[in-house]
Amino acid sequence: MQLTKDTEISTINRQMSDFSELSQILPLHQISKIKDILENENPLPKEKLASHLTMIILMANLASQKRKDVPVKRSTFLKYQRSISKTLQYDSSTKTVSFEYHLKDPSRLIKGLEDVVSPYRFVVGVHEKPDDVMSHLSAVHMRKEAGRKRDLGNKINDEIAKIAETQETIWGFVGKTMDLIEARTTRPTTKAAYNLLLQATFMNCCRADDLKNTDIKTFEVIPDKHLGRMLRAFVPETKTGTRFVYFFPCKGRCDPLLALDSYLQWTDPIPKTRTTDEDARYDYQLLRNSLLGSYDGFISKQSDESIFKIPNGPKAHLGRHVTASYLSNNEMDKEATLYGNWSAAREEGVSRVAKARYMHTIEKSPPSYLFAFLSGFYNITAERACELVDPNSNPCEQDKNIPMISDIETLMARYGKNAEIIPMDVLVFLSSYARFKNNEGK
């Protein structure tokens, strides 16, 4: 079983690498590559030829639909590349390339290929799925399963409601999951990554993918009237087009600043994964793509919590659902929607669907009282005034008393290659806060 899983991961990594390299080749150069393969390579490298053919077909198709600026998605490329590769044949005596493709009428495609890849001939068969008994049974199966899924959804909602009921239940749940990570993970890198994923998704009411896609170059220190200072970073790729994630001081065990500090000490910068044929909009992302699946598998196997035992229930994405429910229980429905779907004020490039479904919720910035409430330092009144839970525990006063550690060599030693990417003032604040917080009570 493990060997099969490792093989699948290796295949996915190879496909991602191949797609990234292929995306660097300009369209007309792709055509030259195809001709070179057909003229000079024997035996024929079917996978390689299929990749180049798929890329020029998809690029030409987008251009013909007046969608020249729309990139080719890796998932789309792999779907069609597999189909072409499985059926690809070449007859050198007649210079004829043949394969199957998902088209009802391939005549235009054949003419286009013969025009640009002259003097070669193309025979494109129509790829059709067989109409068999299984397809009809599957349709019936799906209809019957829909009712069961409704029951499953209700069960998930019930479990989320239990966790989000009070301050004690939500942060108690997070604390128990932190204990599980501490007890059942052996590698420091895994421990730090799981903790960051858990704490930051809960504190940001965000999808795990949003956290993963955070651009680490954009970290900045921002002031907050209730908490002193916090960190903010930009997420270029998300359902609303863009959003921010926040790392702020917290009173309890769940402290995203401490989780971020630990994570950056154990990991190097992670290059942005390429998912289309266009150049990535940023260079480094916060989490590895594989982390979300790894976390889901770990939680499913190790946790005894009811919510994690539900098949196909939320795991890495649980924080968003629970925190949204928790805020709603505290009469912050609007804030939950705003925070969970937060977008930058600049709206260029946001999709029509995102605007229709989400943009109506967007304001200039999340309110400071929202961070104050989630931090655990404050209670919030009906008028949205913030009252300290403990007058002797004032985060603004604590912030003023943090001794700043600005020695460059110390920061480089602490954060390694991350110190070459993340702004230095961010690391000064983060390391100083972490040392101050970890030394409290000693």
**CATH ID of 163-439, from 3.20.20.70, 2.130.10.10, 3.40.1390.10, 1.10.443.10:** 1.10.443.10
Q: Which residue has the higher pLDDT, 431 or 334?
A: 431
Give the pLDDT score at 398.
96
**Residue among 90, 101, 246, 358 flagged as catalytic:** 358
Measuring CA to CA, which residue among 123, 1, 105, 100 is closest to residue 54? 100
* φ, ψ dihedrals at 348, nearest 5°: -60, 140
Q: Is residue 369 annotated as part of the catalytic site, yes or no? A: no
Q: Yes or no: say if 236 and 242 are a contact pair by the CB < 8 Å rule.
A: yes
Q: Yes or no: say if 235 and 244 are a contact pair by the CB < 8 Å rule.
A: yes
* φ, ψ dihedrals at 234, nearest 5°: -95, 140
As a whole number of angstroms, the distance between CA 277 and CA 351 comes to: 19
Residue 294 in this model has a pLDDT that exceeds 80: yes
The residue length of the chain stands at 442
Average pLDDT of the residues in 336-354:
54
Residue 183 in this model has a pLDDT that exceeds 60: yes
Domain boundaries, the chain: 16-126, 163-439
Whole-model pTM over 0.85: no
Residue 135 in this model has a pLDDT that exceeds 80: no
- Helices in 242-351 by DSSP H: which ranges? 256-266, 289-302, 318-329, 333-340
Q: Yes or no: say if 378 and 367 are a contact pair by the CB < 8 Å rule.
A: no
Quick: pLDDT tens for 216-257.
999 999 999 999 999 999 998 876 666 899 999 999 899 999
- Per-residue HEC secondary structure of 192-238 comes to HHHHHHHHHHHHHCCCHHHHHCCEEEEEEEEEECCCEEEEEEEECCC
The DSSP letter of residue 403 is P
Give the pLDDT score at 253.
93
The DSSP letter of residue 249 is -
Assigned CATH class of 16-126: alpha beta
As a whole number of angstroms, the distance between CA 183 and CA 423 comes to: 33
* Long-range contacts of the stretch 32-39 (C-beta < 8 A, 24+): 34/117, 35/117, 35/120, 38/90, 38/95, 38/97, 38/117, 38/120
Q: Yes or no: say if 426 and 414 are a contact pair by the CB < 8 Å rule.
A: no
Residue 305 in this model has a pLDDT that exceeds 60: yes
Residue 172 in this model has a pLDDT that exceeds 60: yes
Classify residue 403 as left (phi > 0), alpha (psi -120 to 50) or beta.
Answer: beta
* Long-range contacts of the stretch 279-282 (C-beta < 8 A, 24+): 281/236, 281/237, 282/215, 282/217, 282/218, 282/236
